[in-house]
Amino acid sequence: MQEDFLHYIWKFKKFDFRKARTVDGIEVVILNSGIANYNSGPDFFNGKIKIGEQVWAGNIEIHIKSSDWFSHHHETDPNYDNVILHVVWEDDIEIFRKDNTIIPTLELKDLVAEETMQSYRNLLLAPNSKWINCENDFSGFDDFEINNWLERLYFEKLEKKSLSITDLLNNTGSNWAGILFQLLAKNFGLKVNGGAFLSMAQSVDFKIILKTNDSHLLESLFFGQIGLIDKNIEDAYYSQLKEDYKYLKRKYALNNSGVERPKFFRLRPDNFPTIRLSQLAFLYSRSSHLFSEIMNARTRSDFIGLFSVETTDYWRSHYNFGKSHSPRTKKLTNDFIDLLLINTVFPLRFYYFQLTGQGSVNEILDMVSEIKAEKNKIIEKFNQLRPNVAVNAMQSQALLHMKHEYCSRNSCLKCNLGTKLIKGL
């Protein structure tokens, strides 16, 4: 038995509420089950219950056993002083308020239909080695229901990403352009070097980026801060970057003691930190109003144009200092730009639109739906369970969120698909 199941039963009245009685035998009429609380404090706020002839307004707390009240130390927490009803699966002890009056308790174990219990057991309790609990039923869900749930999950994922943007907003003094630079730097580094690139970006005041609008100087700034030019290498370009960085470091009193060093191991050459940092430098040398341009862009094609940048000349024939190859252009690919849109631009636009009231989230939904789905093992498995469930990036992003935040945590009773199975397909 999970408390999530009891929350579900209470919220949707999936029990014989007509026979609801307190453990003392007094009739309970549910006028309002309350608002679910997913943070600390009682499980449901602002409920309204009639117990006997008395109407109560307040909070409802839910436990598997009554004694869990003490296991969770609610007796010492003032947040629980306004609990009007204790809903439990099994009543094993009386619970008292501070004034020594008993908190009414509703026991559910004899009020839930066996059919509902069996659906719950099949979904969450049956021992199995399933990838997700509902994998045998996943293909049977209605298309409309799946698509609506995925759309909701996508925006839920954007909301979650907004939390990290909030921290950056506070740390940068609400400098949106500076936040964009930090987020882009992180995503230029991808998974392997994202942390290193972010630490580099956070080590430099964004005003310095705006003042240093030359691609070679920006490159020396980025390379110097991240520790890529602190050795003695016989290479003319390396030496020039090193000299330029010494000048910038002295001019702006730069400090890179807390910057994480980047990695090259197991990376494809086009993802080497040298290449990605050069492209990032090229991007910011070309546009000093990138944030405004991104907020004003209306189509995916607009974004492709904004991010169609390459490296500085040296890196057309190099991946590392001193080792040359036949010259070739190393531009950001459309696939890489799509990753920037998914992981940086759309979350930032979403949060900016929410705070300012400018723009429309529907634009984000339209554009992310134009991008093809990511390719990874999780998306491949979902497409095996339900062919073409992830065709575009909105769907794949939503499914990744569902797998991590719902399926892997056995939070089926917070998932629209899981609750659908409990109710019956």
Judge if 238 and 356 occupy the same domain. yes
Residue 415 within any structural domain of the chain: no
Tell me: the pLDDT tens digits for 377-398? 999 999 999 999 999 999 999 9
Q: CA torsion sign, 206 to 207 to 209 to 213?
A: positive
- Identify whether residues 176 and 314 lie together within a single domain: yes
Note down the domain range covering 325.
172-368
- Based on the domain organization, do 102 and 176 belong to the same domain? no
**Same structural domain, 234 and 108:** no
Taking a C-beta distance cutoff of 8 angstroms, is the pair 160, 374 a contact?
no
Residue 254 CB burial class (10 angstroms; 0-12, 13-18, ≥19): middle
Residue 277 lies in a domain: yes
Whether residue 81 lies inside any domain: the answer is: yes
Same domain as 209, residue 95: no
* 424 Cβ contact list (under 8 Å, min separation 6): 115, 119
Same domain, 86 and 232: no
So what's the pLDDT on residue 121? 83
Res. 425: pLDDT tops 60: no
Q: Please count the residues of the chain.
A: 425
Q: How many CB atoms lie within 10 A of CB 53?
A: 7
Residues 201 and 289 in one domain: yes
Residues 99 and 224 in one domain: no
Identify whether 39 is part of a domain.
yes
Query: Does the residue 139 lie in any domain?
Result: no
Query: pLDDT tens digits, residue range 46-56?
Result: 999 999 999 99
- Based on the fold, state whether residues 257 and 359 are members of the same structural domain: yes
The reported pLDDT for the residue numbered 125 is 75
Pairing label, strands 54-65, 83-90? parallel
Rounded-to-integer distance, Cα 3 and Cα 231, Å: 58
> Which of 316, 338, 368 is the endpoint of a domain?
368
- Provide the mean pLDDT of the chain: 94
Phi, psi of 59 (to 5 degrees): -105, 155
Report how far apart, in Å, the C-alpha atoms of 112 and of each of 82, 90, 244 are.
Answer: 27, 12, 74
Q: In sequence order, what are the residues at sequence separation of 6 or more whose Cβ sits closer than 8 angstroms to the Cβ of residue 420?
A: 141, 145
Find the helix or strand (DSSP H, E) in which 420 lies. Answer: helix 416-423
Question: Pick from 327, 351, 368: which residue ends a domain?
Answer: 368
Mean of pLDDT values over 312-319: 97
Report the share of the chain in percent with pLDDT over 90: 82
What is the number of structural domains in the chain?
Answer: 2
pLDDT, position 126: 65
% of the chain with per-residue pLDDT over 70? 99
Please write the tens of the pLDDT for every residue from 221-259.
999 999 999 999 999 999 999 999 999 999 999 999 999
Q: Report the distance separating Cα 371 and Cα 381, nearest Å.
A: 20
Same domain, residue pair 207 and 104: no
Segment 102-158, tens digit of pLDDT: 999 999 999 999 888 888 888 887 656 789 999 999 999 999 999 999 999 999 999
- 191 and 49 in a single domain? The answer is no
Examine residue 47 and state whether it is found in any structural domain, yes or no: yes
Would 180 be classed as within a structural domain?
A: yes
* 88 and 228 housed in the same domain: no
Report if residue 238 sits inside a domain. Answer: yes
Please tell me the predicted confidence (pLDDT) of residue 373: 97
User: 339, 368, 397: which is the final residue of a domain?
Assistant: 368
What one-character-per-residue DSSP string does 327-355 give? ----PPPHHHHHHHIIIIIHHHHHHHHHH
As beta bridge partners, residue 49 has 30, 56
Which has the higher per-residue pLDDT, 117 or 198?
A: 198
Please tell me the predicted confidence (pLDDT) of residue 90. Answer: 96
Distance CA 234, CA 236 (A): 7
